[in-house]
Every structure is written in structure tokens, then in C-alpha cells.
Structure 1
């Protein structure tokens, strides 16, 4: 791989684009063994190119597409990401004119850190340090949401008595869903290492609240380009939501997404509910 990088640097840029594009088609058609092999191949190229710090705009853009694939697969398998998110770029979100992509990419990074701490080898460790690490990550996520431009966060409205949200930038609606999923996972993990019944009740309520927001946003007529991104969070929300009506509506939506787009949802939902 090192020799290929030295001899054909521009071709390797195209190789990662082609690999990720192929993975995207396979993810839509059926995320089986071929998809997993190509994702591991993309991981090898990404690591060899140091794509997250590449001087090439094309390679950096490819990295963030790859990162989304890796986070989605980690969520699907309840496992850490292959690539250490601690090395991923952190964005300066306090700039005068923040870019939408910067916010969306940064919440992907935070979600990757979430799945690594929740599903990593220390996931059963009951220590004060672990509780502190989980709470620190929650603080970073809250700060991300606080810095987000208000106009991007969506406008709440009522339709036939149901709460819905309208997003001027639908892609950001998907980013908000990913934020809620990360908070759901962190609260659920804190609940497992809590020390008193009072703490447990509060954490259950927080898990339910974030599950509710995921479902309500998903039910808000997001375009297909955004709705496929919320499939995995929706599966987690179905597992944890207390409201049976919202649970049923979310399941109906998942079936509808598969029927309309061909994106596999049934297998993802079954895998999540069986855990």
C-alpha cells in the first residue's frame, strides 16, 4: 500500500472515491458481506492516506462520507468504529459564518466517539472515571447544539394534532437526529452504571425524551436523502420509546422507507430489537 501511495498518489485519491461510491450502492441494495469487505477496504485506504488530514479536498470529502458509513455500521453491529475518532478533525464552530458541513461532520465525529465509549471494551466498567467520560461527552454534544444557528434547528408546528418539525436545511434535520441518538446512548449507558433509583428514573426519562425527538423528527416529512440517514437512530428509538403509538408509527415509517427507497430497514430493526 505504501508503494502504491508513493507511485500513484492521484490514483489512490480516486480509489477511495470509487470504493466508497460502490459501498454506497451496496448499502442501498443489500449491506451483506460484499459491503463489509468494501468498507474494510475503504478503511485500509483511509488509514494509509491519512485521509482525515489530507491536503486534497476530494480525499477529505471522501473521508467524511466514509466516516458516516463506518458510524452507521458500528451502530448496526453495536461495536466501536474501525478508525479512531480521536484522530478525526475537530471543527472551529465558533466562526462568524459557520458552514453547514462543518456542523454535520462534527456531530458525526461526536457520535463516533459515543459508539466507541458505549460499545468499547470498557463498556461494562463501573467506575467514576467512566461516568465522568460519559458526562463530558454529553457536555460536548450540548455545546454543539448550543452553537448551532437557531434557524437550522427546525421550527416546531402541529399537524392534525401531532408535533412535527420543519427544517430549512433537511440535511441538518438528520444531524439533529444523530445528536439525539448520541444523547440517548450516553444516557442509557449512564443508567446502567447508576448508583441509586432516583438517578435511574431521571435517566430513563432522558432516554425516552431523546427517543421521542428522533421519532417526531423522522415523522416530519424529511426528503429521502435525509430520511435514510435517520433509519438507524429510528431503530434505537423504537426499542426505547415508552409511547406505544409513537412506537407503532415509527415501525410503519421504517416499513414505508424500505418500500419507497429500497433501503433495508427490516433487518436493522430486527437486529436492534433482539438485543
Structure 2
């Protein structure tokens, strides 16, 4: 339970840091420190949970990478981890010291990081997931499709989003039929 709550808290902090400021975004050292702290918090989260949370990768029949998770909620948590990384790398602070970026993210440049995380989200979402989990992945898949450069991956993500939309619309139409009659 605490892993799920940490995911929600960290995701909320990233969204607020990047999109939530109503006044001009913080500049300079304060912004760099917040950005670096968010990366550090996510790194602690991702390295502090059991290996099973990140899933096991495998190749499907078309030789594409997919993931298996012991609990489908782990897949959703990993998608939110990856989308927060996309948000952070696509919205660096105004003056990001190279040392801070390298220290928190490894040796890859920001664009390579964005591509890596976008592809992971798409691979996870295209794995065998229950419909209820796919619905929670709409935002991560949407943002992955916006950022991924690989046209095939983007098309896969868009088709998945359309499929989820179609399923949600169908369920919305069936909902009145599934409601027990009161009388």
C-alpha cells in the first residue's frame, strides 16, 4: 500500500512542480534543487521496492518486448514512474547543472532518457493487462505517444488509446443496463 501511496505522492509533486504553478515558474537554484530532489525521490522509490514491482520482461510472438507483473497495479505504478521521468526530462529547470543531471539520471542525455521511458510505457501498456489497469494508463500512454520518435511505437500507442476509448464508451453505454432495478 505504501508503494502505491508513494507513487501518487511523487507523481502529484512532479505534476505540481511542472504544471501547477499559477505564477511564473521558480528560477535558478531553487528550481534546480526541486527538480533534482524529485529525481532523487523517484530514484529512491524505484530502487527501494522489490524487483517484482518492475515486472519481468519477455518477447512476445512478434519479438516485441513485453512485461509480466505479479500484480497488475504494479504495471500502473511503473507507468506513472516512467511518465514522471518524461515530465522531468522534458521540463528541465532553467539552469540545470550538468553534474546534477548526470548524478540523478545516469549517463544518458535528456532526449535519450525521454525515449527510453516513453518506450517502456508503451511496452508495459501493450502487455497483457486487465481493462481496469489500462484505463489508469491513459495519461502515461498519451504522453508517451506525444514524445516517442519511433513512428511504429507512436502508432501502437495511438491504437491502444483508441481501443481504451472504445471500451470505455461501450462500458458507459452498458452501465445503465447493469444497474440493478430498485423498486
CA contact (8 A) 2:83 2:117 kept: yes
Q: Which residue of 1 aligns with 2:127?
A: 220
Structure 2: gaps spanning 5 or more residues: 102-107, 171-183
SS at match of 2:128: coil
Q: Which residue of 2 aligns with 1:211?
A: 118
Count how many residue pairs are aligned between Structure 1 and Structure 2. Answer: 161
Q: Which residue of 2 aligns with 1:50?
A: none
Say whether residues 1:186 and 2:95 are aligned partners. Answer: no
Which residue of 70, 75, 95 maps to 1:168? 70
Deviation at 1:174, TM superposition (A): 0.3
Q: Which residue of 2 aligns with 1:158?
A: 59
Q: Which residue of 1 aligns with 2:142?
A: 235
| Inter-partner Cα distance in structure 2 for 1:191 and 1:243 | 26
Which residue of 45, 51, 71 maps to 1:144? 45
Q: Which residue of 2 aligns with 1:80?
A: none
| Inter-partner Cα distance in structure 2 for 1:242 and 1:193 | 26
| Inter-partner Cα distance in structure 1 for 2:22 and 2:97 | 21
Say whether residues 1:253 and 2:160 are aligned partners. Answer: yes
Deviation at 1:260, TM superposition (A): 2.0
User: Over aligned residues, Cα RMSD in angstroms?
Assistant: 2.2
Moved over 3 A (4+): 121-126, 191-196
CA contact (8 A) 2:28 2:93 kept: no
CA contact (8 A) 1:117 1:123 kept: no
Correspondence list, 1:121-136, <5 A = 121=22, 124-136=25-37
Tell me the alpha carbon deviations over residues 223-261 of structure 1, each in whole angstroms, 9 at most, x when there is no partner. 111110010111111111111100000000011111123
| Inter-partner Cα distance in structure 2 for 1:143 and 1:113 | 15
| Inter-partner Cα distance in structure 2 for 1:209 and 1:191 | 20
Deviation at 1:128, TM superposition (A): 2.2
Q: What TM-score comes out, normalization by structure 2 length?
A: 0.80
Correspondence list, 1:1-275, <5 A = 101-119=1-19, 120-121=21-22, 124-159=25-60, 160-190=62-92, 193-194=95-96, 202-262=109-169
Q: What TM-score comes out, normalization by structure 1 length?
A: 0.55
Tell me the alpha carbon deviations over residues 131-173 of structure 1, each in whole angstroms, 9 at most, x when there is no partner. 1211111110111111111122200000111000001100111
Indicate how the Cα distance of structure 1 residues 157 and 151 shifts in structure 2: closer, same or farther if over 3 A, else same. Answer: same
